[in-house]
């Protein structure tokens, strides 16, 4: 008989208050600007104001990861076919210390739940090519050619909800 799986030592929630949103931006700055050298002036954009941000936080309050969902016109401008029923998952980032704990998958599922709650049919994303396998394991399928974003190779992916 195997031991029951340990409960995760973090929670994932929609970032509703200003402190949670600041924690999301701090994780993004650490991962994208610090580690991946994405210029800070393109990391934050006008979409942040209306996006649904999700946050993974350790039980002691330390932020572990974040992601965002664009919906409506903002998502239609980003997805492959301009369909307003398709959300756009983006800015998924997990801190170095939290990688391998399931935080990224939990954040993707939280974004998908937010998309379902808004009546969306699918979620698109632009995956860094090194992360294609991660998203494929979560049910996403790549489409279209590889393209650069912030100097990093990406592919478009979609999952029907």
pLDDT digits (tens, 9 = 90+) for 27-84: 999 999 999 998 888 888 889 999 999 999 999 999 999 999 999 888 887 776 788 8
Task: Give the model's pLDDT for residue 82.
Answer: 80
String of DSSP letters for the chain: -PPPPPPPSEEEEE--SHHHHHHHHHHHIIIIIIIS---HHHHS-GGGGTSEEEEEEETTS-EEEEEEEE-THHHHHHSTT--TTEEEEEEEEE-GGGTTTTHHHHHHHHHHHHHHHTT-SEEEEEEEGGGHHHHHHTT-EEEEEEEEETTEEEEEEEEE-
Over the stretch 63-74, which tens digit does the pLDDT of each residue have?
999 999 999 888
Please compute the mean of the pLDDT values over residues 139-143 and round it to a whole number.
96
pLDDT at 107 over 70: yes
pLDDT in tens, 2-17: 555 555 689 999 999 9
User: 21 Cβ partners below 8 Å, 6+ apart?
Assistant: 15, 53
Phi/psi of residue 86, each to 5°? -115, 120
pLDDT at 78: 78
């Amino acid at each position: 008989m195997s031991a029951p799986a340990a409960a995760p030592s973090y929670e994932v929630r929609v970032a509703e208050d200003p402190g949670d949103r600041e924690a999301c931006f701090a994780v993004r700055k650490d991962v994208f600007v610090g580690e991946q050298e994405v210029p800070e002036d393109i990391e934050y954009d006008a979409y942040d104001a209306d996006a649904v941000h999700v946050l993974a936080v350790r039980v002691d309050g330390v932020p572990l990861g974040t992601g965002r969902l664009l919906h409506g016109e903002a998502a239609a401008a980003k997805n492959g076919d301009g369909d307003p029923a398709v959300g756009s998952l983006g800015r998924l980032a997990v801190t170095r210390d939290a990688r391998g704990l399931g935080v990224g998958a939990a954040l993707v599922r939280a974004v998908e739940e937010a998309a379902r709650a808004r009546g969306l049919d699918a979620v698109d994303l632009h995956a860094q090519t090194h992360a294609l396998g991660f998203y494929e394991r979560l049910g996403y399928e790549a489409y279209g050619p590889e393209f650069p974003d912030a100097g990093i190779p990406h592919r478009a992916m979609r999952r029907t909800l």
